[in-house]
Amino acid sequence: MVALAWWRLELPVLPELEESLLWKLNSLGIPRVAVRHTPEAPEQRQLVAWLPEADWPEDERLQLQAALAPLADTFGLVLPPIHWEHQSDEDWSLSWKQHWQPDPVGQRLLILPAWLDLPPEHADRLVIRMDPGSAFGTGSHPTTRLCLEALEDLDLTGQRVADLGCGSGILGIAALLQGARSVAAADTDSLAVLATTGNAEVSGFQDQLTVALGSVETLADLLAGEPADLLLCNILAPVIEALCPAFTSVLAPSGLGLLSGLLVDQAPRLRQALAEQGWQAELTAQQSQWGLMTIRWAGGGPGADVA
């Protein structure tokens, strides 16, 4: 049997592009992806991906860079050059795992790759065990960290949580670790559904976290007509805007929503769109140019006065 060989793609990650790059690579059938960073310098990140050599000759690799470049154009940026390195089959898996280390978040949480032991210095933290890289949402991106840190400030005891665009399931698992009763999750990416299912099992929450393939309608079905106490939604701002008319089906009037995935300069437009649907929205935290928006029901709805 001929041993496989791989191309390792390395690309400096601009903060604005991280989520888009991960989504695009997954959509192109490139699931072996990691984002390398250290807790001491989370702003200095590098995207690393592994592509089978046989499937990615030089012309295909050039086309890949051309396919990724428009993501940067959207933000008025230039995609940094991609560095390619040849790697043998026996090295790639170990190399991938070496990019992941225990990652403390906030005051109480720790993201821990499933194959690592709990470091003694973090023994007092709540541990989110994960298989990083199978879907985005590994805790490295500012939008995910904003949500995790916001969850620490809430009393989640006994609450029902809805996670729209669950990715790896990290936010729902963090909510369960902090006392939530149950999580209903949905994502339009089948890889995300598999990742959330696997990570829930690794963390011991397979009986409390339910996940299905789909969008807000699917999430409403999982909730069986009883909107949740807390809505988590870490997806891009234009998608949040498109989905917000259906938020009343997944978030109770007395509940709270945490929306991330938005740039700070996108907040005014999104706040207006939410107000038109009856939600009071406030930008409550930010990291670099990324923001976290908190929403509560204000009444009204389409056509209401939002001045």
pLDDT number for residue 183 = 98
**Domain count along the chain:** 2
The confidence band for 3, taking pLDDT boundaries of 50, 70 and 90, is: very low
Determine, yes or no, domain membership for 146. yes
Q: Which domain holds residue 160?
A: 103-297
Q: At what angle do helices 170-177 and 190-203 cross, to 10 degrees?
A: 30
Determine, yes or no, domain membership for 216. yes
pLDDT number for residue 24 = 82
Give me the CATH number covering residue 50: 3.30.70.260
Which has the closest alpha carbon to 9: 97, 92, 130, 132?
Answer: 92
Of 97, 124, 147, the position where a domain reaches its end is 97
Query: Would the pLDDT of 305 be above 70?
Result: no
pLDDT number for residue 132 = 62
68-123 tens-digit pLDDT: 989 888 788 889 999 998 877 655 556 656 667 788 888 999 988 888 889 999 99
Of 71, 97, 123, the position where a domain reaches its end is 97
Q: Are residues 251 and 133 in the same domain?
A: yes
**Cα distance between residue 77 and residue 67, in whole Å:** 15
Report how far Cα 212 is from the mean position of its chain's Cα atoms. 16
Structure tokens of 46?
Answer: 């590098």
Q: In which residue are the tokens 């400096």 written?
A: 12
Q: Are residues 18 and 38 in the same domain?
A: yes
Between 39 and 124, the more confident residue is 124
Q: Are residues 113 and 79 in the same domain?
A: no
Give me the CATH number covering residue 145: 3.40.50.150
Q: Are residues 169 and 34 in the same domain?
A: no
Q: Are residues 92 and 136 in the same domain?
A: no
> Quick check: helix, strand or coil at residue 60?
helix
206-217 tens-digit pLDDT: 999 999 999 999
**Cα distance between residue 278 and residue 261, in whole Å:** 21
Between 268 and 8, the more confident residue is 268
